[in-house]
Structure 1
Amino acid sequence: ADGVALGHGSRQHICINNPVFRDRAERIANALAAAVGNDPRVLAWQLDNEFRSHVGGCHCETCRDLWAAWLAERYQEVELLNEAWHSAVWSETYQNFAQVPLPGPTPFLHNTSLVNDFRQFSQQCINRFAHEQADIIRAHSNHPVTHNSGLGFDLDNADLFGALDFSSFDAYPSADNHSAFLMNLDYFPHLANGRTVLMETSPSHGGSVRNYGVPHPRGFVEAEAFANYASGSAGFLFWHFRQHRGGSEQAHGSVISAWGQPTIGYSSAEAIGRLLPAVKPLLDCSSTAQPAVAVHYSDHAKGFLATEAGDGAGYRGLISTFHAGLVRAGIQRSLLPVEASLAGFRVLFTPFVHHLSGQDRERILRWVHDGGTWVCGPGTGGRTEHHTWHADSALGGLEDAAGVEPVFQFPATGSGSRGSILGHSAVLSRMSTFFRSRETDSPGAATALGTVAAGPAEGLEFATERRIGAGRMILLGSYPGTGDPDDDGAALGAVVEYACAGVLPPVRTAGGNVADYPRWHNGRLQHWLVNMGGQPGAFTLLRPARKLLGKQDVHAGNGRQAFHPALTLPVGAYTLGAHDYLILEDIKEEHSL
C-alpha cells in the first residue's frame, strides 16, 4: 500500500495482472486440468492459496496503465471523476485519467475516493484472474472449483465466490477468541450456492518464526470440528499435516513432527476421527435450519473503514464485537452480503455500512413493509459510493424512512457523550448521527428509544423506532458503548433483545460460550450444542427434547444412542462442560424457528 515494489523471497510476490505471469498461469492451469481433470482421485480444484492475505493492490507499471483504463471505463469523462471525487480540494483536479496516481506515499492523506476506487479496482482484478482460472479448469474437468479465502483478506468475497462452485475458508483462531471462528461459520455457508468447506485450520496452534502461537486447550479443536459440521460445512482440514522442516512457518502446529512422530495435535486428529463417523448418520438425515436473524457483512464496508479509521477502529474489529454481542445473547444468526436475499429472515442488523445504495435500501424497506425488523446502524448510510458526504441529506435517504431529522454528525468517542437506551446508560462512541423525531400526527411517526444525556448533542436522540407497514425500522445513530474489552455490552445487548423479541430460539444460550446450530429432521428441530469456551456454559430448554448424542458417547465408542425415556430432557436450565457438545431433538414437531 505504500507504493514500494516487493521482491522475491516470500509468497504473493507476483502481479496477477502482469501479462507474462498471466500467460504462464494459463498454460499451467490448462496442462494440469488436461492431465488430471477427470481423475477419480481428484475431488475439487483449489485456486492458488489465500488471495490477498498479505498484500492489497499492486503498484507496478502494468497496474498503473490498467488503473487509468479502469477509471476511464468507470467515469467515461475525467470531469465526472473530478466532480465525484471533489478533487478540487487541495488542487487535485486531473486533466486526464493517466494523471491519476496510484495511492502511494504522500505528504498527508490521499483523497478517500481515490483510495476506495483503487481498492475496488484491485479486488476486481484478482477476482477476474480467479474466474479466468476457473473457466480454464472447467474446459477440462467437471470437478468443482473453489478458493480458500478468509475474512481478513483484501478481497470482495461475495463477488469472488459468485463464480465458483463452493466457498472455502481458512481460520486460525485462538481459543479465547472463539467467536471469531464462529463468524466464519455464520458467513461462508451463505456464499457459492450455500456450500462451504473449512480448508485450513491448525490441529494445535498457529504461528511462525516471528510469532509463536499458543497451543489450544484439550478439546477445543474437537469442538471446532463439531461446530463446523453442525453449521453445514462439508469439510474440516488441517494445515500442516507434517511439520515444515524449513521456511518461515516451522513453528506452526502440525499433526506429525518434522521427524515423523505424533505432535500435540495428533490427539485432535484422533478425536475428530471418532467424531465424524458418529455424527455423519445424523448429518446425512438432517439439514441446517435458517436462523431468524441476519447481520450484514460487507467487504466494501471494510474498505471504507480501512480508508477512514478515524478513531482507530477497523471494520473487522467492529463487526466482530457486534457479532460477539449476538453470540453472548444466545441469538442464532447468519452473516449475509448486503446484496443477499432476505427471504425467511425476520430480523436484520446493518451496522457500519458507510455506503448503502439506494437500490439495497429500497429492497430492504420492502422487506420491512412485509413484516421484517431492521436495525440500521450504527455507522450506516453516511457516505456516498465515492466516500464523500451526501449533499442533500445526512444519511442518504435513511432519515426519511426512519422519520427523523438529523441535526449533528460528529465523532462521539471521547466527546463526553452519554445516552440512555432501553433502561441502560452507556457511553456513546464512533462517528455518530444525532437526530430528532419528526413532528407528525401520523400513526407511523418515529418514537425515541435512545436519548443523549450528556455531550455536544445533549437532548437529541440517537436511536428511534418507526412502524413501516407490517414491520419496523430501528435507526441506531451512535454505538451504545465503547466496544472495548472492558465494555460489558449491556446496552447493545438490550437493543439486540428488543429487536429480536418474538423470534427468540427454543434453546437459549448465554455467556458467549455455548452455541446452538439448529437442524431439521423429519419436521423436528435438532439442537447441535457446543461449548467453545474453557469453562462450563449454560443453556436453557424452552421445550422438552430427547438426547441423540453427546461427547461422552463418542469417546466411549457408543455412536448414536437409541431413544429412551431416560434420555428425555424436560424444560429447564442445563450446563455443558468446557469444549463439550450435545445433540438434542425436540419431541414436538415444528415447521419453523
Structure 2
Amino acid sequence: MDELFDGRLLYGAAVYPEVLDAATFAADAAHMRRLGMNTARLGEFMWSALESVDGEIRLDVLDRALDVLGANGLSAIVCTPTATPPVWLTHGHPERLHHTADGVALGHGSRQHICTNNSVFRDRAARITRTIAAAVGNDRRVLAWQLDNEFKSHVGGCHCATCRGLWTGWLAARYQEVDLLNHAWHSAVWSETYQNFAQVPLPGPTPFLHNASLVNDFRLFSQECINGFAREQADIIRGRSTLPVTHNSGFGFDLDNAALFENLDFSSFDTYPSANNHSAFLMNLDYFPRLARSRRTVLMETSPSHGGSVRHYGVPHPHGFVEAEAFANYASGSAGFLFWLFRQHRGGSEQAHGSVLSAWGQPTIGYASAEAIGRLLPAVKPLLDHSSPAQPAVAVHYSDHAKAFLETEAGDHVGYRGLISAFHAGLVRAGIQRSLIPVEASLAGFRVLFTPFVHHLPEQDRARILQWVHDGGTWACGPGTGGRTEHHTWHADSALGGLEAAAGVESVFQFPATGSDSRGSILGHDVVLSRMSTFFRLPENDAPGAATALGTVTGGPAEGLEFATERRIGAGRMILLGSYPGAGAGTGGPDGSGAYDGGAALAAVVEYACAGVLPRVRTAGGTVAEYLRWRNGRLQHWLVNMGGEPGAFTLLWPARKLLGKQAVHADNGSHASHPALTLSAGVHTLGAYDYLVLEDIKEEQSL
C-alpha cells in the first residue's frame, strides 16, 4: 500500500448531513475549512436516510454531502451505516434482535440492537455496503472507509437462536469431539459432563456461576464472530474500492483488537478521557499505532470539550488540554485527529455532548480548542514530514484475551482495563517511553518487556520471549501472569505452568493476598500485597545463574517466602512478580484496602527493570510526556505538559528548541521564522498544557 493518505495529516470532525438542512450543512462545511480542518467523517448512522424502505436505496443524501464537502476542500471518511439498522429491518422480527443473557430482545431506538450474526441482517448489511462502495469506492472526494461504528461498545455476546446454533458449531470445530471438551473444561465438576455439543448451553442465567471455561470460550466465540462480520464488510468494500479501510475501536469494547486490525489497513480509535486522567489518553497512542497493516492510526473520535448524554453530563476540559492532546497525538505518529462532533445534535440521546458549534450554530466552549489545533497542525507538519517516530526501548503486553479472562474471573472486582491502565500510568509517571503490544507481537528493537495480568501465556509465546531474554532482553513477568491454561483452568504440574522453571523458582502457595495482611519488602519499599498471588521458594544453592530474591514476604500466610525474584538467562534477565507490589491506582488500588503507596513500589520495580534504557530527557514524577522522533540521525524530543500546573523536565545534554506553543500562536498563526534557541542541560519548566519540540545537538552556546 502507498503511504497512508499520501502523507497528509488529517484534522476534522464527524458531520451528519442526514439530520441538517442543506443550507446549514453547507455553512458548517465552510466553517470547518475556516478552522483549518481538512477531513469530515460521515455515514455511520445514515442507513434509514439511504434506505427508508427495504430494497429502495437512494444515495442522494450522501452524494450531495460529498459534493458540499469537496467544494470546501474537505475529504471524507465514509462509514458503513450498519450500527443503526432501520426500523423496517427489526419491527415485527424479534428473532433478528440482539438477545441479552437473560433472554431479553433489545428493541429499536438506540444502536447495536440487532444480532450481527443474523442472516437477514448480514444480507441487508452486505447490500447497503455493496451499493455505497460501488457508488463512491474510488471517488476523489473520499479518503478512506470506516466499518460500522464502535463494535461491541454497548453489547457483548448475543444469546439469540441464531447465535445458539453458531455456538454449537463453533464448539464442534474447536474441540472436534465432545469428550475433548469435557476434558479441557473439567466438566465432571458439578456433573456438567456433556454428551454432544448441542447440549452445551449459552452462558445464561443459572442458580450460581457457570463453568469458567464455558464463559471464557463464549467470549472468544463472540469476538471471533464480530471480527468475521468486519472481514465480510471489508471484503465487500475492497472488491469495489482501493481506498484504505479501518474501524473506530477502543479499550472498553468487547473485542479482540489485535485480530480485528490484522485485516484492516490502518487502526483508529475513539477516546474520551477526563483531563485529570491524561495517561488514559496517552495509552491509546501507545497501543493502536502498533496494529493494522500500515502500522498507522487515526484518532477518530474525541470531544472538543466534554462527553455526555441526557443520562450523564460530562465535565468540560480545562482550556489548553485538548490542544495538548492534539500535539501528543501527532507527535506519537498518529495520522489524524477528529472531533465528535462538529455541530451539536438538537435531538437524540447525546444532546448534552460537547461539540465545536452549538445546535443553534454558535461557537461552544470547545471552539477555541478547534481554532488552536487549526494553527497547530500547519506549524508541526513540516517537522513531522521530515522526521519519524523512534521505537521505544520498553514494551508492555496488552491482551484483549487477558481482559476476557479477568472478566470471567473478577474475584476482587477489578477488571483488566483498570489494572493495565494503572500499570501504564505508572510507566507514564516514571517518564518511561513505551509501546503497548499484543502478546504475539515481535520483540525486535525492544530491550525491556513487561507482561502483567496475562492469565494465560501461550507456550509458544513464552518460548519466544525467553529466547529474546537469552539474547539480552529484560523481561518483567507478572503480576497475575501465567496462572491459567487456555481453557481457564489451573495447570496440572505447577502454579504458573513453565514460568517457574524458566525463573528458577518453586511455587509454594497461591492464594488471594487481598485482605490477608500479606506484606512484603521490595527495593527498599514496604508494601501491602494484593490480588491472586503466587509465592516462591528459591533454590538452596547459589550456583551461577540461580534465581535471587527481589521481593520478600514479611507478613501474612506466606511470610518468609519470595513474591519477586530475578534470574540471569544468557545475556538477559527475567524478573518474576508473583504478587502486586503495593496498592494500585486510585484510593486503595486493586485491593480496596485503603493502603496506597502512591505507586512508589511499582515505580521502583519499573525503574529497576529499565536500568540502562532511561531517557535522555527525564520527566519522571510529573505530567510532562515525551515522544521521540528521528530526523537525519538526530533525536527529537516532543514534550507536552498534560497537566494543569507547570511541569518540570530535565535535560541531560543541551538541546535546540525547534518549536514552542507560543510560536504556534504568535503573529496570528503565521508561523513566521523564529531564531532557534539552545536550552542548557538541567531542569526546565513547561507551563500548563504547554508543549515544545527539541532536537539533540553538540554542546554549543547555551541560553
Normalised TM-score (structure 2): 0.83
Superposition map of 1:558-577 within 5 A: 559=671, 561-564=673-676, 567-577=677-687
Residues 278 and 560, structure 1, Cα contact 8 Å, conserved in 2: no
| Separation in 1, partners of 2:541, 2:383 | 55
Residues 544 and 569, structure 1, Cα contact 8 Å, conserved in 2: yes
Structure 1 pair 264/426, CA: closer, same or farther in 2 (3 Å)?
same
SS at match of 1:474: strand
> Equivalent of 2:437, from 336, 348, 361?
336
| Separation in 2, partners of 1:402, 1:511 | 31
Partner of 2:132: 32
**Superposition deviation, residue 437 in structure 1:** 1.2
Partner of 1:418: 519
* CA offsets 1:307-349 (integer angstroms, 9 cap, x no match): 1010111000000000000011000000000000000000000
Percent of aligned positions with the same letter in both sequences?
Answer: 84
| Separation in 2, partners of 1:146, 1:472 | 39
**Superposition deviation, residue 383 in structure 1:** 0.2
Superposition map of 1:137-176 within 5 A: 137-176=237-276
| Separation in 2, partners of 1:5, 1:404 | 52
Partner of 1:278: 379
Partner of 2:94: none
Check if 1:479 corresponds to 2:591: no
Counterpart of 1:101, as a letter, is P
Higher RCO (C-alpha under 8 Å, 6+ residues apart): 1
Partner of 1:310: 411
Residues 50 and 147, structure 1, Cα contact 8 Å, conserved in 2: yes
> Equivalent of 1:15, from 97, 115, 120?
115
Partner of 2:464: 363
SS at match of 1:233: coil
Partner of 2:220: 120
Superposition map of 1:529-568 within 5 A: 529-556=639-666, 557=669, 559=671, 561-564=673-676, 567-568=677-678
Residues 622 and 648, structure 2, Cα contact 8 Å, conserved in 1: no
Superposition map of 1:84-483 within 5 A: 84-192=184-292, 193-483=294-584
Check if 1:511 corresponds to 2:648: no
**Superposition deviation, residue 88 in structure 1:** 1.1
**Superposition deviation, residue 101 in structure 1:** 0.6
Counterpart of 2:603, as a letter, is G
**Superposition deviation, residue 137 in structure 1:** 0.3
| Separation in 2, partners of 1:484, 1:518 | 27
| Separation in 2, partners of 1:485, 1:32 | 47
* CA offsets 1:467-490 (integer angstroms, 9 cap, x no match): 000000000000011114243111
**Superposition deviation, residue 561 in structure 1:** 4.7
**Superposition deviation, residue 442 in structure 1:** 2.9
Residues 585 and 599, structure 2, Cα contact 8 Å, conserved in 1: no
SS at match of 2:619: strand
SS at match of 2:426: helix
**Superposition deviation, residue 441 in structure 1:** 4.4
Counterpart of 1:44, as a letter, is A
Counterpart of 2:154, as a letter, is H
Check if 1:2 corresponds to 2:80: no
Counterpart of 1:266, as a letter, is Y
| Separation in 2, partners of 1:117, 1:321 | 27
* CA offsets 1:402-452 (integer angstroms, 9 cap, x no match): 000000000001100000001111000010000011233431100000000
SS at match of 2:626: strand
**Superposition deviation, residue 5 in structure 1:** 2.4
**Superposition deviation, residue 240 in structure 1:** 1.0
Residues 547 and 563, structure 1, Cα contact 8 Å, conserved in 2: no
**Superposition deviation, residue 194 in structure 1:** 1.1
Structure 1 pair 203/167, CA: closer, same or farther in 2 (3 Å)?
same
Partner of 2:600: 490
| Separation in 1, partners of 2:653, 2:172 | 61
Residues 101 and 158, structure 2, Cα contact 8 Å, conserved in 1: no
| Separation in 1, partners of 2:530, 2:617 | 33
Counterpart of 1:516, as a letter, is E
Residues 524 and 588, structure 1, Cα contact 8 Å, conserved in 2: no
Residues 322 and 369, structure 2, Cα contact 8 Å, conserved in 1: yes
| Separation in 1, partners of 2:110, 2:413 | 29
Partner of 2:162: 62
| Separation in 1, partners of 2:684, 2:376 | 23
Structure number with larger C-alpha Rg: 2
| Separation in 1, partners of 2:651, 2:219 | 47
Counterpart of 2:397, as a letter, is H
Counterpart of 2:251, as a letter, is L
**Superposition deviation, residue 562 in structure 1:** 4.8
Residues 525 and 586, structure 1, Cα contact 8 Å, conserved in 2: yes
| Separation in 2, partners of 1:268, 1:554 | 13
Residues 208 and 248, structure 1, Cα contact 8 Å, conserved in 2: yes
SS at match of 1:510: coil
Residues 286 and 436, structure 2, Cα contact 8 Å, conserved in 1: yes
Counterpart of 2:203, as a letter, is P
Partner of 2:177: 77
**Superposition deviation, residue 2 in structure 1:** 2.7
SS at match of 2:123: helix
| Separation in 1, partners of 2:443, 2:321 | 33
* CA offsets 1:492-512 (integer angstroms, 9 cap, x no match): 111001000000011110224
| Separation in 2, partners of 1:13, 1:307 | 24
| Separation in 1, partners of 2:303, 2:335 | 17
Counterpart of 2:566, as a letter, is E
RMSD: 1.1
| Separation in 2, partners of 1:525, 1:441 | 43
Residues 566 and 574, structure 2, Cα contact 8 Å, conserved in 1: yes
* CA offsets 1:160-206 (integer angstroms, 9 cap, x no match): 00000000000000101110000000000000131100000000000
| Separation in 1, partners of 2:685, 2:114 | 52
Residues 295 and 336, structure 1, Cα contact 8 Å, conserved in 2: yes
| Separation in 1, partners of 2:670, 2:426 | 36
SS at match of 2:128: helix
**Superposition deviation, residue 543 in structure 1:** 1.4
Residues 549 and 560, structure 1, Cα contact 8 Å, conserved in 2: no
Residues 447 and 466, structure 1, Cα contact 8 Å, conserved in 2: yes
**Superposition deviation, residue 559 in structure 1:** 2.4
Counterpart of 1:350, as a letter, is T
Residues 546 and 563, structure 1, Cα contact 8 Å, conserved in 2: no
SS at match of 2:554: strand
Aligned residues: 587
SS at match of 1:515: strand
SS at match of 1:318: helix
Structure 1 segments of 4 or more deviating over 3 A?
560-564
| Separation in 2, partners of 1:168, 1:158 | 12
